[in-house]
Amino acid sequence: MDVVMHGPDPPALADAETSDPDAGTHRWVVRDWSRIAATKLRSEPFKVGGFSWQILLFPRGNNSEFVSVYLDAADSATLPHGWSQHAAFTLSIEAEPRRGESASATAARGVVKDTQHTFGANETDWGFTQFVPLSDLDDPDRGLLRSDDSVVIVASVRARRDPNDWNYDSRAETGHVGLKNQGATCYMNSLLQTLFHVPYFRKAVYHMPTTESDEASASIPLALQALFHKLQVAPGAASTKDLTRSFGWDAYDSFMQHDVQELNRVLCEKLEEKMKGTSVEGTIAKLFEGHTVNYINCVDVEYKSERKEAYLDLQLDVKGCKDVYASFDKYVEVEKMDGDNKYRAEGHGLQDAEKGVLFTAFPPVLQLQLKRFEYDFNRDAMVKINDRYEFPEELDLDAGDGKYLTPDADRSVRNKYLLHSVLVHSGGVNGGHYYAFIRPSLRGDGWFKFDDERVTKERAERAMDDNFGEDAELSGKPRVPKFANAYMLVYVRESDMAQIVCDANEDDIAEHVLARLRKEKEEKERRKKEKAEAPFIVPTRLATAETMKAQIGSEIFFDLCEHESLPTRRVRKETSFLEWKKSVAEETGVPPNRQRFWNFVKRQNATCRPGAPIDPEDEMSMTMSALRDKFNPPPSKYVDPGDPRDLRLFLEVVSEEEAANAPPANAADAEFPDLSGAAPRVPAHHELLFFKFYDPTTEAFEFLGHLLCRKDSSVRLEEARIRALCGARLARDAPFDVFEEIKFEPSLMVEKADWDVRFDHDRMSLGSGDILCVQPRVVSEEGVVGTVGGSLSENAPGPRFPEVDQFFAHVRDAQRVSFREASSPRDEKFNLDLSKSMSYDEVCLSLASALGVKDPTTLRLTQHNTYTNAPKTPVAFRGVDALVDMLPPRSANKTPSSGGFENALSARAKHDILYYEVLDMPLPQLERLKSLRVHFHAKDTRRLDVVNVRVPKESRVADAMAELRRVLGEKVSTTRALRFMETYQSKIFKVFAPDDTIDNINDAYWVLRAEEVPEDEAPFGDSETVRSASDADDVARRDSDATETGDVLIHVYHFYRDGDDKADDAAQHTKSQHVHLFGDPFFMRVARDETLGSVKARARLKLGVAEKEFAKWRWAFHSLGKTSDALADSECVAALFAARKDAYGAYESYLGAEHEDPSPRKTAAAKRGTNAGGFDQRAVKIYG
**DSSP structure string for 785-843:** BP-TT----TTS---S--SHHHHHHHHHTEEEEEEEETTSTTSEEEEEEEETT-BHHHH
Q: Is 590:638 a contact under the CB 8 Å cutoff? A: no
pLDDT at residue 936 is higher than 90: yes
Omega prior to 567 cis, within 30 of 0:
no
Does residue 782 carry a pLDDT above 50? yes
Say which amino acid occupies 1023.
Answer: S
With left for phi above 0 and alpha for psi between -120 and 50, is residue 263 left, alpha or beta?
A: alpha
pLDDT tens digits, residue range 1150-1181? 999 998 876 654 444 444 443 444 444 455 66
Model pLDDT, residue 108:
78
pLDDT over threshold 60, residue 1066? no
* CA neighbor of 929 nearest in space, from 874, 881, 999: 999
CA distance 148 to 30: 11
255: Cβ contacts below 8 Å, ≥ 6 apart: 182, 183, 184
Q: At what angle do helices 186-196 and 220-233 cross, to 10 degrees?
A: 80
**Which of the four pLDDT bands, split at 50, 70 and 90, describes residue 857?**
very high
Alpha carbons 958 and 1024: distance in angstroms, whole number = 5
Instruction: Sort strands 23-30 and 5-6 into parallel, antiparallel or unpaired.
Output: antiparallel
What pLDDT sits at residue 960? 93
For the chain, what is the total number of helices (H) and then of strands (E)? 31, 51
Cβ contact 1050:1011 at 8 Å: no
Cα 69 to Cα 127: distance, rounded to the nearest angstrom: 6
Q: pLDDT value at position 671?
A: 46
What percentage of residues in the chain have a pLDDT greater than 90? 40
Choose the weakest-confidence range: 58-62, 190-194, 493-497, 1059-1063: 1059-1063
DSSP 308-326: EEEESSEEEE-TT-SBHHH
Strand partners, 419: 491
Q: 133 has which bridge partners?
A: 66
pTM of the model: 0.56
Whether 298 shows a pLDDT value over 80: the answer reads yes
pLDDT tens-digit map of 404-430: 999 999 999 999 999 999 999 888 776
Backbone angles phi, psi at 834, to 5 degrees: -120, -175
1051 is catalytic: no
pLDDT at 516: 86
- Whether residue 336 contacts residue 1125, with contact meaning beta carbons closer than 8 Å, is answered with no
- Residue 813 pLDDT > 50, yes or no? yes
**Residue 401 DSSP class:** H
pLDDT band at residue 148 under the 50/70/90 scheme: very high
- Residue range 441-499, pLDDT digits in tens: 887 778 999 988 889 888 888 899 889 987 655 444 445 557 789 999 999 999 999 99
Q: How far apart are the C-alpha atoms of 528 and 916, rounded to whole Å? A: 45
Q: Is the pLDDT of residue 7 over 70?
A: no
pLDDT level of residue 1142 (50, 70, 90 thresholds): low
How far apart, in whole angstroms, are the C-alpha atoms of residue 161 and residue 528? Answer: 24
Q: What angle do CA 570, 574, 575 make, to 5 degrees?
A: 60
Q: Active site residue: 26, 86, 176, 186, which one?
A: 186
Task: Give the pLDDT confidence of 204-250 residue by residue, as tens digits.
Answer: 999 988 888 788 777 888 889 999 999 998 888 898 888 888 887 76
What does each C-alpha distance from 1086 to 1052, 1077, 1137 come to in angstroms? 11, 22, 10
**553 backbone φψ class: left, alpha, beta (φ>0; ψ -120 to 50):** left
The yes-or-no verdict on residue 792 having pLDDT over 50 is: no
If one compares 644 and 459, the residue with the highest pLDDT of the two is 459
Distance CA 1111, CA 1093 (A): 11
Closest to 1151 (Cα-Cα) out of 1003, 1007, 1049, 1035: 1049
* pLDDT given at position 1044: 65
Average pLDDT over residues 321-350: 89
Q: 703 or 461: which carries more pLDDT confidence? A: 703
Q: Which residues contact 347 (CB under 8 A, 6 or more apart)?
A: 303
Question: First CA to last CA across the chain, in angstroms?
Answer: 72
Average pLDDT over residues 311-327: 92
Q: Is the predicted pLDDT of residue 911 greater than 80, yes or no?
A: no
Window from 381-385, 682-686, 969-973 with minimum mean pLDDT: 381-385
Mean pLDDT, residues 960-983: 91
| CB within 8 Å of 115: residues ≥ 6 apart | 88, 89, 126, 127, 128
pLDDT computed for residue 430 by the predictor: 65
Contact 1004/1098 with Cβ under 8 angstroms?
no
Residue 357 reports pLDDT greater than 80: yes
- What is the distance between the alpha carbons of residues 529 and 1053, in angstroms, rounded to a whole number? 66
3-state helix/strand/coil string of 681-723 = CCCCCEEEEEEEEEECCCCEEEEEEEEEEECCCCCCCCHHHHH
Task: Give the whole-angstrom CA distance, residue 883 versus residue 892.
Answer: 10
Residue, of 655 and 375, whose pLDDT is higher: 655
pLDDT at 287 over 90: yes
Question: Backbone dihedral region of 170: left (phi > 0), alpha (psi from -120 to 50 degrees) or beta?
Answer: alpha
Q: Which of 894, 964, 902, 976 is nearest to 936 (CA)?
A: 964
455, 552, 563, 749, 1089 from 701: Cα distances, Å: 57, 7, 19, 18, 91
Query: 3-state SS of 523-551?
Result: HHHHHHHHHHHHHHEEEEEEECHHHHHHH
**Could you tell me which of 1162, 1180, 1073 has the C-alpha nearest to residue 1124?**
1073
Collapsing DSSP to helix, strand or coil, 175 comes out as coil
Give the closest residue to 116 by CA, choosing from 60, 181, 71, 149: 71
pLDDT bin (cut points 50, 70, 90) of residue 613 is very high
200: Cβ contacts below 8 Å, ≥ 6 apart? 283, 287, 499, 500, 501, 502, 504
- pLDDT surpasses 90 at 705: yes
Higher pLDDT, 91 or 166: 91
pLDDT in tens, 1084-1131: 999 999 999 999 999 998 888 888 888 889 999 988 778 888 889 999
Q: Which of 425, 433, 1069, 1155 is catalytic?
A: 433
Q: With contact defined as beta carbons under 8 Å apart, do 1115 and 1153 qualify?
A: yes
Which helix (H) or strand (E) element contains residue 617? Answer: helix 616-621
* Range from 359-363, 553-557, 700-704, 979-983 carrying the lowest mean pLDDT: 553-557
Instruction: List, for residues 518-571, the tens digit of each pLDDT value.
Output: 888 888 888 888 888 878 889 999 999 999 999 999 888 999 999 888 998 989
Q: Is 608 a residue of the active site?
A: no
Chain centroid to CA 638: 36
Gyration radius of the chain's alpha carbons: 41
**Dihedral pair phi/psi, residue 551, rounded to 5°:** -90, -45
Give the single-character DSSP code of 623. B
- Span 1023-1051, pLDDT tens digits: 888 655 444 444 444 445 555 678 899 99
1067 pLDDT tier (thresholds 50, 70, 90): very low
pLDDT of residue 210: 85
Residue 310 has pLDDT above 50, yes or no: yes
DSSP string, 64-87: SSEEEEEEEETTGGGSPTT-EEEE
Q: Of the ranges 39-43, 252-256, 387-391, 683-687, which one carries the lowest mean pLDDT score?
A: 252-256
Mean pLDDT of 582-588: 92
Mean pLDDT of 937-947: 83
pLDDT at 152: 95
Task: State the pLDDT at residue 1090.
Answer: 92
Per-residue model confidence (pLDDT) at position 92: 92
Q: Find all residues with CB under 8 Å of 705, minimum gap 6, and list them.
A: 545, 690, 691, 725
Average pLDDT for residues 762-777, to the nearest whole number? 93
Strand, coil or helix: 199:
helix
pLDDT at 804: 94
Give me the sign of the Cα torsion angle 1143, 1149, 1153, 1157: positive
Give the pLDDT score at 747.
Answer: 85
Q: Look at residue 837 in the predicted model and tell me its pLDDT.
A: 87
Q: Which of 23-37, 360-374, 584-598, 1037-1051 has the lowest mean pLDDT?
A: 1037-1051
Assign 1144 a pLDDT band (cuts: 50, 70, 90).
low
CA atoms within 13 A on the CB side of 1160: 14
Q: Could you tell me which of 1073, 991, 1085 has the C-alpha nearest to residue 1045?
A: 1085
1072 pLDDT band, cuts 50/70/90, is very low
Cross-sheet strand order for the sheet of 736-743: 700-710, 686-695, 771-776, 736-743, 749-752
Highest mean pLDDT among 152-161, 578-587, 1043-1052: 578-587
Return the pLDDT at 784. Answer: 47
pLDDT in the model for residue 1147: 66
- When pLDDT is averaged across residues 565-586 and rounded to a whole number, the result is 91
DSSP annotation of 1092: H
Measure the CA–CA gap between 816 and 1154, rounded to whole angstroms: 57
